[in-house]
Amino acid sequence: MLWRRKTAEANEATLEPRLKSDLWVKALVRRLDVELMTAMVTRSGDSEAGAIYLKLNFLNGKCRVLNRIYGENGERLWSGATGDTPVDEARADDYLQRQITFDPDCWIVEIEDPNGTFSIDDLVA
């Protein structure tokens, strides 16, 4: 488990535990397997702290890419990296390729979600 500094409202530094990227990705794939959803690691990154991108593939030529960001109070959130609406798969792949150029240690997990049932809300950030 990694620790990262979290700035509290009173500007006091505190430490917050954070899962290693490889453990988080393995848990996600396992959880989706239990839910009978297909998830594939299409790019393995740094096992300790690589950025993680989720490519939601709706299997109709449309996709969304999600990435983890920090909120105003230091909390981890998920954001629509390619916007709030699905984009063409080629555009999603182009976005991910650019991210690999900037951060070769990143992880990419592709989730097949033809029915749009995947929910990011209950994932540990």
pLDDT in tens, 46-83: 888 889 999 999 999 999 999 988 888 888 889 999 99
Candidates 51, 39, 55; CA nearest to 92 is 55
Q: Which residue has the higher pLDDT, 3 or 118?
A: 118
CATH number of the domain bearing residue 87: 3.40.1530.20
Q: Tell me whether residue 65 is in a domain.
A: yes
Q: Tell me whether residue 69 is in a domain.
A: yes
The conformation of residue 72, written as its DSSP 8-state character, comes to T
Q: Tell me whether residue 28 is in a domain.
A: yes
Q: What three-state secondary structure class fits 68?
A: strand
Q: Tell me whether residue 6 is in a domain.
A: no
Q: Which domain holds residue 43?
A: 19-112
Per-residue pLDDT tens over the stretch 84-111: 999 999 999 999 999 999 999 999 999 9
Q: Tell me whether residue 82 is in a domain.
A: yes
> Contact, 96 vs 108, CB < 8 A?
yes
Which residue's entry shows tokens 């997990």? 109
Distance between CA atoms of residues 83 and 45, nearest Å: 23
Q: Tell me whether residue 59 is in a domain.
A: yes
pTM to 2 decimal places = 0.83
**Secondary structure E strands in the chain:** 2-7, 13-18, 38-43, 52-57, 62-70, 76-80, 87-88, 107-112
Q: What does the buried/exposed string (b/e) look like for 99-122 if buried means 16 or more CB atoms within 10 Å of the residue's CB?
A: beeeeeebbbbbbbbeeeebeeee
What's the structural domain count of the chain? 1
Distance between CA atoms of residues 111 and 116, nearest Å: 10
